[in-house]
Structure formats: C-alpha cells, structure tokens
Amino acid sequence: MGVDSFVNWLRDAAGVLHENAAYLTELDSAIGDADHGANMDRGFQAIVAVLDETSFESADELLKKAGMTLVSKVGGASGPLYGTFFLRFGTALAGVAPITAEAVGKALHAGVEGVLTRGKAELGDKTMYDAWAPALEAYDAAVAGGSDVGPALTAAAEAAAKGRDATVPLVARKGRASYLGERSAGHQDPGATSTTLILESAARTLA
C-alpha cells in the first residue's frame, strides 16, 4: 500500500463528510452546538486543498500534514481529536515499508491512543471512542484470522457502526453533550457517526 492509497482515503472521506455535513450537524443540534458537520467539512476541504497543491513522498508525511491541517482549521472538540488521530496514525507509519495490515493496525491503535490522551474518554461516555474501540477490536481479530487490510477495515467499519448505534441510549459524560446530562440520552453521537464514515471510507479505499 503506497501513498496514493492514503490520498484516495482522504479525498474519499472529504467527499463523504461533505455529503453528510447537514446530517452530522443535525445530530449535533440535538445534543451539541450544531456545528459538527460544518467542522468536519471545513477540516477535510482544507485537507483537499493541501492535496491539490502538494504531492507527498510518503504516507507518514501526508497523514501528519492532514492531522496538522485539522488541528489548525477546526475549532471545537473534533479538530484536535481527529487532528491528533491523523498525526499519530502518520507518525506510526514513518519508515515503515511495506505498509502491511499489521502496520495499519499499529497506526490505528496509535491514532486512537492520541484521541484518548487528548479527550480522556472512556467506553460508554457517548463519544467517538465508542466507535473507535470496537473498530480496533474487530480489526485486530480480522488480522489475527488472516485477513488483509481491506477486509479487516470492513470488519472495523461494521463494528464502528454498531458502536455508533449503541451511543443512542447513552448519557454523555464528555464534551458539550455532557452539559445536557440525562437529556442527552435518545440521540446518536455525532462524533461516533463521523468516525464510522471515516472508517467506511478507509475500507473502500485502502486495500
């Protein structure tokens, strides 16, 4: 897997987040401040602008730049969280060749560790981590069973979707939604929704 695959991922994710911007913002209007779609769209369009003017020699340089772009262009919780995810994901791939299913697994774990370091979320807090955690578990299990990157990411995306759906009844304990307390229950978490879209995009493009 070369740098082109990761370029395709970022472009595909940007397209999907753009198409889903109104939906993500609608989810965030129920339990947040109605900006999650706009935040993700702005951040990923800024990544596309970088891709249009720069060519990258390596996956790690590309993904680190994507992370820094999200940190600098997106305010709110999701900018630093996704920015850190891509920064750590890219850093984990530095000097790695070939990029195998195991290497992508290590990078995913490193990225999610970054999300946890920044956001201090635990499973069940009704955040994006509720999608990331089962995704990592499913990815690892698929690779242990002999799957290559594409099928392992498909398993990860399916697990993320279940984690996303499982956020609906939860009471939020992190981020703006936590200000609502019990009233946050009954709504799907926007960040767990965008994480699922990003993983579905990875499954389509990284193989």
20 binds ligand ADP (CB under 6 A): no
The only residue of 107, 192, 197, 199 in contact with ligand ADP, by rule CB under 6 A: 192
Q: Treating both helix axes as pointing N-terminal to C-terminal, what angle do 78-92 and 101-119 enclose, rounded to 10 degrees?
A: 150
Contacts 24+ apart (CB under 8 A), 30-37: 30/187, 31/172, 31/176, 31/177, 31/180, 31/183, 31/184, 31/187, 31/189, 31/190, 32/175, 32/176, 32/177, 32/190, 33/76, 33/176, 35/76, 36/76, 36/78, 36/190, 36/191, 36/194, 37/190
42 binds ligand ADP (CB under 6 A): no
Which distant-in-sequence residues (6+ apart) come within 8 Å of 51 by Cβ? 7, 10, 11
The residue among 30 and 103 lying less far from ligand ADP, judged by its C-beta, is 30
Q: Which does 127 bind (CB under 5 to 8 A by kind): ligand ADP, Mg ion, none?
A: ligand ADP
Residue 135 and residue 160: Cα distance in Å, rounded? 5
Q: How far is the CB of 108 from ligand ADP (least distance, A)?
A: 16
Q: Which stretch binds Mg ion (CB under 5 A): 68-76, 82-90, 116-124, 148-156?
A: 68-76
Q: Which stretch binds ligand ADP (CB under 6 A): 87-95, 137-145, 148-156, 186-194?
A: 186-194
The residue among 12 and 28 lying less far from Mg ion, judged by its C-beta, is 28
Residue 35 and residue 159: Cα distance in Å, rounded? 25
The only residue of 1, 17, 32, 192 in contact with Mg ion, by rule CB under 5 A: 32
Q: How far is the CB of 4 from ligand ADP (least distance, A)?
A: 29
The residue among 26 and 158 lying less far from Mg ion, judged by its C-beta, is 26
Q: How far is the CB of 38 from Mg ion (least distance, A)?
A: 9
Binding positions for ligand ADP, 71-110, rule CB under 6 A? 76-78, 81
The answer to whether 70 touches 63, Cβ cutoff 8 Å, is no
The residue among 75 and 145 lying less far from Mg ion, judged by its C-beta, is 75
Residue 4 and residue 187: Cα distance in Å, rounded? 37
Q: Where along the sequence are the contacts to Mg ion (CB under 5 A)?
A: 28, 32-33, 35-36, 76
